[in-house]
Every structure is written in structure tokens, then in C-alpha cells.
Structure 1
Amino acid sequence: MSKNNSPDSIIRDITREFNTIVDSVSEESNFIHDRYFRFAFADPIRMAELLTLFSRRNASLKAFLDTIDLSSLRGARENHSTDKHIGSADLVFEVDLKNGGTTGLYVGIIAEHKSDKDKLVLNQISEYYHHLFLERKKDVPVIAFIVYNGEKDWNPLTETHFADYPEFYHDIGYPFKAIYLDVGHAIDDSEMKSLSPITLVALTAMKYICAKAQYTAPRSYRQVHLPLRLSA
């Protein structure tokens, strides 16, 4: 986002990035979709909004939020690069436990965006986990969020790990806890009233991509009919 955080500059940023994502739909470019996800949710405040919104209907996510101080959410050092649209995992955060826990303990977060099915997503996140945490000798629990906005029904967490092996091996897990968020289907418009403008537009754009086969894309942000009034 622009260093100038005036309402006009925010709208300009939203307009530019929203038009980019709209233009990318016909190209079916995962790179552009991932770029938009990073633009929208690299800010810890907006990531916190996303997690809070989904926790209303995701018991596992709510249980996670109950253990942490969400106001302490911060981008990890590995999350930054000279180009905000490149890197390994899409987004990496850290967050402290709530007061009352052991002093100094924090949790690592990997957020990985997918706009299509990817049967190797958990293996991919395992590579990120190794590079971002184990190689740096960070012995902390890690939560991986798989943020999906594709058209097809898909939930990688319902798939059997080592499915080609006998049942004895199926409960061998990954070195992180994974939570799946379907932003293409699972959000109701009435749930977005209190969101910031960029979060609201980001989620609206992601919902639109999911329905691209049934909808003709507007060419400008100011032509988009949103069901809610944007709040500053």
C-alpha cells in the first residue's frame, strides 16, 4: 500500500489491484491471484480481520485464536523481500500467546493461497516449514493456513495422507497444524459489514473469481456493485 494512507490513496490502491485481478481472470494466471492475496493480506491488521471473520464458522480456527494475542500478529522477517509479489510461502507471520501463558512463547504462521486444486500443497508447505523454521532453529509450533478461492470443491485436509500405503501409515502427520479457509464459497455478504475497505474488496474479488464462469467482470472498481457500503 502507498505510504500515504489517506482515503483517496487507499481507493487508488484498491482500484489498481482490483482491476489487476479482474484482468487476470481470463488469463487464468495463478501468479496474479497470488499477487493479489499477498497485496491484500500482508498487512497483519487485514490478516487478523480475515482470521476473525472465518473463526465464526471454523471451530479449529476459533480454538487457535483463543490461545493467541491477535493484536501481536506481525510479519516474520522471512516475509519481506525487495519484491512483495515473490518469495517462498505466500505469507509468514508470528504471533504471541495470550497473557497468562509462558513468557516469550510465540507461534509461527504460514499462509498459502491456492486458486486451483493442488494435491501437493501440504508437501509444499512442509518445504516452507523446513526452510522458514527448522533451518533457522526456530523450535515453535506452526499453523499453516490454506486459503482457497477456486471454482471446484476441494479440501486437502479431507484427503488421506500416504493414501497408497496400508492404513497403518495414514496417521503419520505433518510437522504443522493445517487449517483450510475457502474464501470463494464460505463467506456471506452480511458478515463483511465491519471490514476495512481493502479486506472487503479483496474478499469480494476472490469470491468473484470463483464464480467467473457465470459472471461478466466489470472493468473498473467504481463499476462494481458491492452489497455493502465500504467503511473507512
Structure 2
Amino acid sequence: MTNQKSHRSHDAFFRWLFADENHSRALLKLCAKQNPESAEFLNFFDLNSLERIPDSYSEVDETGEADLAFRVKNAKGLPGLIGMLLAHKSGSYKSVFAQISRYADMVMEVQNDMGMELYTKDNPYGLLPTWAFVFYNGKGSWDPMKILRERYSDYFLSSALPCQCSFIDMKMISDEDCTGCDDVATAMGLTAMKYAFDREKLLKALLQFKSRFQKLPPAEAKDLLKKISFYLKEFLDDKVIEELNGAFV
């Protein structure tokens, strides 16, 4: 497990970056390249309709657990909306499915708080079917879905889960897919998280984006570099951070 300080930082960075629907959309498309199961899940979504649900459902603020909730339209043309949760972990977390279950329930409370009618012809049961994507970038190997499958047969797996789930080890998303991503902020943020524990590869990997980074609007580029530097300070010494900033400024 990471220490408490880095836990706070990784959550704030993940939430800041992927609260933007454009960035979260780009992240999910990268997941589809790395994870066939995620690609299958994403076939059900119209990602262009992705809309973030306000944070009033969350138990924590920006410096706490990194969970984001979205509404998305059904890609099959059906009228019912689908819920989507993005959760990030930098270490193994035994209660991850229980946490996801709580948030899936709270999403429905948000719908009600927003003044929406829960029981409509498009949503006759007042329930929002939810898919959860668990993102992990810790040092060691961890796969809660694998652990769950070792305890339950496929017949009971859907009953054991609070909703449909897909696990993504961010370290497994290739550098080639990142450099090919149209969204440079997503690509750089993901790369920083991939190599947060590997200082030797970090700077080299990030420098691949230098020319594209310099084409961003100045304020956007400055903010992105500031957020990445603050996130990495939890894992790297000041000398490496200074070298990173010097390379991009």
C-alpha cells in the first residue's frame, strides 16, 4: 500500500484529470485497446453522450477517494440511461467491491436529488444499471476480479458483484497507445501514473509528448504541468521534478 500522503495526492490528480468528460472518454478508449473485456463493455455505451454526475454523491472531497460517476446513453439506441463509475487505486484494497456498491446506490440518490423522476417509461424500476471500471497503478500485482473468480464460479460471479466490473492495470496500457492518443493531457497524465514508481523511465516517457504539449494553450499547459509535478512529488525527489519542469517549460 502507498502511504497516506501519496494516497491523497493520487486521488486528487485522478479526479482532477478525469472529471473532464473529454479526458475520461479518451481514457476509456485506451482501456479498450488494452483490455478485451473493457472493449466488450464499452460497446454498450455511446461515449459521446458521457455526462458527469455531480460530486454530491461522494463521501469525500477532492483529496479523498478517487471515484467519479457518469451517465451515458445506451449505444444500442434504447432509451434507458446507463451509469458508469471510475475508481482508482494505487494499492490493493480489500473492500473495493463494497465501496463500488455504495457509490452505485448513491448515484441513484443523486438522480433523485437533481429533481429527476426515477420512475419513468425509460427507467421503470428507478434503477440505473451501472458499470464500474477499477483503475490500478500500484507497484505490485493486484487484480480483484481474479481474486473474486478464484472464490466463485462464473455461475455465481454476477451475483457476487454489485454491478458489472472491469479491472484495468494502468501499467499495462502501452506507451505506443499513449503516444497515439489524440488527447495529450490524458496521455501525459496516464504516463505519469504508469511510471510514478519508476523514475528512470518516467522522464523519457513524458518527453515523447513535448512537442504536442507545447501546442496546448499556455494556461492549459501550465496547469497540466503543475498538476503532474504536484502528483509526482509524492513519489520522486525535488531534483527529478525540477528536471521535468525544466524540460517542458
The two structures share one fold, judged by TM-score above 0.5: yes
2:148 paired residue number = 160
Q: Is the 8 A contact 1:72 1:95 kept in 2?
A: yes
Write the letter of the residue equivalent to 2:32.
S
- Counterpart code for 2:100: I
Match in the other structure for 1:19: none
Distance apart, 1:57 and its partner CA: 2.7
- Give the length in aligned residue pairs: 196
Which structure has the highest helix share of the two? 2
Alignment of 1:211-230 (within 5 A): 211=198, 215=200, 225-230=206-211
Residue 147 (structure 1) aligns with: 135
Relative to 1, partners in 2 of residues 1:72 and 1:217: Cα closer, same or farther, differing over 3 Å?
closer
Structure 2: distance between partners of 1:89 and 1:62: 22
Match runs of 1:15-54 below 5 Å = 28-54=5-31
In structure 2, which of residues 183, 188, 202 is the aligned counterpart of residue 201 of structure 1? Answer: 188
1:57-94 per-residue CA deviation (whole Å, 9 max, x = no partner) reads: 3122111222221100010134689x971577621111
Distance 1:192 1:48 in 2: 14
Match of 1:176? Answer: 163
2:38 is the counterpart of 1:61: yes
Q: Give the TM-score normalised by structure 1.
A: 0.71
> Do the aligned partners of 1:151 and 1:211 also contact (CA within 8 Å) in 2?
no
Unaligned 5+ segments in structure 1 are 1-24
Tell me what 1:5 maps to: none
Q: 1:31 to 1:141 in 2, by over 3 A?
A: same
1:216 is displaced (CA, Å) by 9.0
Which residue number corresponds to residue 176 of structure 2? 190
Distance of 2:46 and 2:89 partners within structure 1? 27
> 1:178 aligns to what SS in structure 2?
strand
- Distance of 2:94 and 2:149 partners within structure 1: 11
* TM-score under structure 2 length normalisation: 0.67
